[in-house]
């Protein structure tokens, strides 16, 4: 489909490719979950399409390999999947998830809820401080999963609810680790377990965190609008408590706003994305100096990082890179978040077809956290595409970079 005249608009390109494929407007619109009137306005130039989600869905439905075919090569967003790389930790975690007994007497003395909470918080801190998150945290999780359920069974009343809250935080960590490296069913099992334990905890903050993690899963599955609604439901649980200035409440509320901003960015809703970013920034300003909410890594620096992500999601790489100029990556405490910031900067340069700069920042992200790049499909796809795009003196380095993140350049 590269024979299309360069002066064609995105809508005109979609219409021509749709007709070549023999698809009616009604059929194509249905394949991407939109109305035929919406597609008609896109094709006729009455409406812009700024959503990565919709562009990628259209590219899939039209069987084109890159969104650039639809946009006229203004953007480089590969559509074909690079697949998942599994990790050695998945098998024992799967066994723990499938093998947990929900009845009977623990064979070892169970933890107190306070001890369990401390162990879970320690695992979360390790996730953010390790260069090899999945390897180091994955080694802890199977035993921690079994001990968490033993703790729940051993306690009653308030202690039992506290154990449920700690177990919910544990399953949110399991969900985070399993993202991109296991079958969808196992990922969603962890997500649903986290939500169920939050409900059993009868704790609004835990329930709001369940909304936070559920929205992440919804967005990853392509349901950005639903993810925002879930984030809003989580925020509603906390609004009555905001005036108390509890750091934990503020941290979770801010994290929900950041997730909503990311989802709006991917859905092309720039105004809403900026509104959520502004609210997150206002919330971060109320936190005690030096405070970071551990699971979400929410603090002032995290707001700035998500601003870059929103710019990339809105397909405005110039704005994303402008925002990145105000951030010093080395001061971002979470190595996982630092690596993601550098990935987003690399993506922004790639969207602008600045191959050398994109390679530089992708390589930096890989140095910060090899597993934070290697096990993320879009990062591997970026490495592959840079290896294809590079030429001259850059070619050998680009191929070596792709191979280092587990991606063949061919």
Alpha-carbon span 158 to 4, nearest angstrom: 66
Question: Residues 373, 132: contact at Cβ < 8 Å?
Answer: no
Domain ranges within the chain, ordered by starting residue: 10-71, 84-202, 203-327
Q: 10-71 adopts what CATH topology?
A: 434 Repressor (Amino-terminal Domain) (1.10.260)
Q: Six-digit token pair at 245?
A: 């200035």
Q: Classify 297 as helix, strand or coil.
A: coil
**Confidence band for 73, pLDDT divided at 50, 70 and 90:** low
Q: What is the pLDDT of residues 290-304, one digit of tens each?
A: 999 999 999 989 999
Closest of 128, 132, 201 to residue 169, by C-alpha: 201
Question: CA–CA separation, 257 vs 173, rounded Å?
Answer: 20
pLDDT band of 102, cuts 50, 70, 90: low
What would the mean pLDDT of 358-373 be, rounded to a whole number?
A: 97
The pLDDT value recorded for residue 101 is 64
CA 41 to chain CA mean position, Å: 30
What is the structure's pLDDT at 410? 46
> Which residue bears the tokens 């079994």?
146
pLDDT of residue 104: 45
Confidence band of 32 (pLDDT split at 50, 70, 90): confident
What integer is the mean pLDDT of 162-168? 98
Greatest alpha-carbon pair distance for the chain in Å reads 72
Cut 0.85: pTM above it: no
Angle at CA 324, nearest 5°, toward 319 and 328? 165
How many angstroms separate the Cα of 101 from the Cα of each of 24, 171, 192? 52, 16, 17
Average pLDDT over the chain, rounded to whole? 91
pLDDT band at residue 80 using 50, 70 and 90 as cut-offs: very low
Quick one: how many helices (H) and strands (E) in the chain?
22, 0
């Amino acid at each position: 489909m590269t024979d299309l005249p360069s002066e064609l608009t995105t809508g005109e390109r979609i219409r021509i490719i749709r007709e070549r494929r023999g698809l009616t407007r009604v059929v194509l619109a249905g394949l991407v979950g939109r109305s035929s009137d919406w597609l008609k306005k896109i094709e006729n130039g009455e409406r812009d399409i700024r959503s990565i989600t919709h562009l990628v869905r259209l590219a899939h439905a039209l069987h084109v390999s890159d969104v650039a075919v639809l946009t006229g090569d203004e953007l480089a967003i590969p559509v074909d999947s690079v697949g998942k790389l599994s990790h050695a930790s998945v098998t024992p975690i799967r066994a723990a998830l499938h093998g947990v007994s929900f009845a009977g007497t623990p064979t070892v003395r169970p933890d107190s809820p306070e001890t369990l909470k401390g162990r879970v918080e320690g695992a979360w801190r390790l996730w953010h401080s390790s260069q090899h998150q999945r390897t180091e945290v994955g080694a802890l999780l199977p035993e921690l999963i079994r001990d968490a359920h033993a703790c729940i069974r051993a306690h009653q009343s308030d202690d039992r609810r506290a154990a449920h809250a700690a177990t919910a935080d544990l399953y949110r960590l399991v969900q985070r680790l399993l993202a991109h490296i296991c079958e969808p069913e196992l990922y969603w099992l962890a997500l649903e377990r986290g939500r169920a334990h939050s409900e059993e905890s009868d704790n609004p903050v835990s329930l709001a965190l369940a909304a936070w993690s559920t929205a992440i899963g919804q967005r990853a599955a392509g349901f950005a609008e639903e993810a925002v609604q879930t984030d809003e439901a989580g925020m509603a649980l906390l609004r009555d408590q905001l005036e108390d200035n509890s750091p934990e409440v503020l941290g979770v509320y801010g994290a929900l706003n950041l997730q909503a901003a990311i989802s709006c960015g991917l859905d092309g809703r720039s105004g809403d994305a900026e509104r959520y970013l502004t609210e997150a920034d206002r919330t971060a300003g109320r936190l005690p100096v030096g405070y970071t909410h551990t699971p979400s890594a929410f603090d002032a620096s995290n707001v700035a990082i998500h601003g870059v992500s929103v710019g990339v999601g809105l397909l405005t790489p110039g704005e994303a890179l402008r925002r990145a100029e105000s951030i010093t990556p080395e001061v971002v405490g979470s190595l996982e978040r630092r690596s993601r910031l550098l990935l987003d900067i690399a993506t922004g340069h790639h969207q602008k077809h600045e191959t050398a700069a994109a390679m530089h920042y992708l390589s930096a992200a890989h140095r910060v956290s090899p597993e934070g790049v290697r096990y993320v499909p879009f990062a591997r796809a970026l490495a592959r595409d840079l290896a294809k795009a590079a030429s001259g003196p850059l070619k050998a380095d680009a191929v070596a970079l792709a191979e280092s993140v587990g991606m063949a350049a061919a």
